[in-house]
Structure 1
Amino acid sequence: MAVAAVLGLIGFVGVPFVYAVVLSFYNVRLGSPRPPEFFGVEQYRRLFTDPDLSDEFLRSLLNNLIFAAAVVPLQTGLALALAVLLNRRLKGIGVFRSLFFLPVVFPMALVAVIWRLILSRSDQGMLNTALSYLTFGHWTAYDWMGSATTAMASVVVLSVWQGVGFQMVILLAGLQQIPEELYEAAKIDRAGRWQQFRHVTLPGIRNTLVFVALLTSVLAFRVFDQIYILIKGGGGLDENATRTVMYEAVTIAFDAGNIGRASAITVVFFVIVVTLTLLQRRFVRPESEPG
């Protein structure tokens, strides 16, 4: 099993990453009849010294960090709350678990269309209509996705709604592994619900919670689908306020046809994400791991 895991890691991560590193040293144009031209570290130099390129890259990286900083605690906390709420032996509880998990199986294209209808800037948008009804017609239709102020928040809400069910299921499985005797002992000691949650539930799912936070962080940094669909699919999403590094790399590779520069962006981003993940794992490690 270990050999198969290593081979899979090499085949699906190692080889593509090495190939991206090689491409980043060349001037490779998509669809160009000219052979690749060796550039050395020129792509990296331009990425950090060219004012236009560096500004776009740093803006994309900042958007990535803002998105991750919002999504990771919000989605993890909401998933934990839902898991605790649904960790009950009630009739029909399986139906509620399925309903909360349902958005996870929706294709991202469908999720983007649903939220485009909700956040539409027109008077027919569901959110604008609801706010107009609540304010007795005094609400002025607002462009939620087109405004630089709320565009990223719109993507955060969309992403949390679509992905929270997956983390909820993982945490629910962790909650069900906590022995019931621990809660009974806590009740005997007259511990309230909050004390039981702090001293029994949280310690019991600490490793699961760390895993979910790490997984959510990785998924948050690789955000691309929903942003690309809402920008390119006519969703009216503000591009400057929501463009991420993956969006930047894909558009440079396939819209501008510059494979070499896109490869350099992905290599730099890969190093940044791995570094942040290792730091997060170092400071928040499972109890079973040595210090």
Structure 2
Amino acid sequence: MSVPTLFGLIAFVGVPFGYAVVLSFYNVRLGSPRPPEFFGLEQYRRLFTDPDLSEPFLRSLLNNLTFAAAVVPLQTGIALALAVLLNRRLKGIGFFRSLFFLPVIFPMALVAVIWRLILARSEQGMLNTVLSYVTFDHWTAYDWLGSAETAMASVVVLSVWQGVGFQMVILLAGLQQIPEELYEAAKIDRAGRWQQFRHVTLPGIRGTLVFVALLTSVLAFRVFDQVYILIRGGGGLDEEATRTVMYEAVTTAFDQGNIGMASAITVVFFVIVVALTLLQRHVVRTESEPG
């Protein structure tokens, strides 16, 4: 039963990544008639020693870490709150579950365009219009995407809004697996709502919560679509404050035509993400073990 999935992973993930590892040892130029030239570890050396390459790479890596540090706890926390709120047997609850899940099915390109209209720097931007209305026209139109102070925060809000429904559904499934008898026993012991949440709900979904946090971390490090669309699609997004490693790799490959360097960036980033994921998993497992 797992053969089709394994075949897909090998064909569409393993083989391309292996090819990227091979290309990182060569000087490959997109569209160049010259054959690939073996460089050995030169691409990796330049990536960490050449200021023209290392500074943009380290800046994008810092942006990636900042994005992940904001998105993972925020999105997981909101998803948990929504799952608890929607884990009720009420009439029409299915409608509200679908409503919160709806942004997940939207393509990221569409989501980025919608939020570009909301956060537009002009007075016609939806957010600026609302703030101007509630302040009786005393609000000065602010460039949410173009300002270095709010550009990354705007991408974080956009990403959380689009992805929180997916984590909510996973956590909701975990909540529905908790036996109702545990809550009834807690009520008999006169446990309040917070005590039930702390001593029944959280232990009951600990494994699911860890999975969601790890999954959100991996997805956060892969952020690319919204950044690329807002920068290249006329959204006015501050490129320096929001460019990520995936954005750096894509622009290096297709704007500069340097496939070898782009492959080296991808390989280094893969190693960093795997190391951080394993470290996070170890820390979470250690904290979840009974003392």
Fold shared, TM-score > 0.5 on shorter chain: yes
Instruction: Name the TM-score class by shorter chain.
Output: over 0.9
CA shift, 1:5, in A, is: 5.0
Give the aligned residue type for 2:120. Answer: S
Q: Counterparts of 1:136-151 in structure 2 under 5 Å?
A: 136-151=136-151
CA shift, 1:17, in A, is: 1.8
Give the aligned residue type for 1:95. Answer: F
In the aligned structure 2, how far is the partner of 1:259 from the partner of 1:11? 20
Aligned partners of 1:151 and 1:242 also within 8 Å: yes
Partner of 1:90: 90
Residues 32-55 of structure 1, C-alpha deviations (whole Å, 9 max, x = no match): 111001111111111000011100
Secondary structure in 2 matching 1:162? helix
Q: Counterparts of 1:219-230 in structure 2 under 5 Å?
A: 219-230=219-230
CA shift, 1:286, in A, is: 9.5
In the aligned structure 1, how far is the partner of 2:116 from the partner of 2:58? 27
Q: Counterparts of 1:237-248 in structure 2 under 5 Å?
A: 237-248=237-248
Partner of 1:277: 277
Gapped regions of structure 2 (runs ≥ 5) = none
Q: Which moved more, 1:128-137 or 1:209-218?
A: 128-137
Give the aligned residue type for 2:268. Answer: V
CA shift, 1:72, in A, is: 0.1
Q: Counterparts of 1:164-203 in structure 2 under 5 Å?
A: 164-203=164-203
In the aligned structure 2, how far is the partner of 1:286 from the partner of 1:111? 37
CA RMSD after TM alignment: 1.8
Give the aligned residue type for 2:123. Answer: D
Q: Does 1:157 align with 2:157?
A: yes
Number of aligned positions between the proteins: 291
In the aligned structure 1, how far is the partner of 2:206 from the partner of 2:8? 29
In the aligned structure 2, how far is the partner of 1:288 from the partner of 1:156? 28
CA shift, 1:281, in A, is: 1.0
In the aligned structure 2, how far is the partner of 1:200 from the partner of 1:170? 18
Partner of 2:252: 252
In the aligned structure 1, how far is the partner of 2:174 from the partner of 2:143? 41
TM-score, with structure 1 as normaliser: 0.96
Q: Which moved more, 1:126-135 or 1:141-150?
A: 126-135
Q: Which moved more, 1:277-286 or 1:56-65?
A: 277-286
Partner of 2:100: 100
In the aligned structure 1, how far is the partner of 2:280 from the partner of 2:30? 37
Aligned partners of 1:206 and 1:286 also within 8 Å: no
CA shift, 1:10, in A, is: 3.1
Give the aligned residue type for 1:144. Answer: W
Percent of pairs identical after alignment?
89
CA shift, 1:16, in A, is: 1.8
CA shift, 1:136, in A, is: 1.0
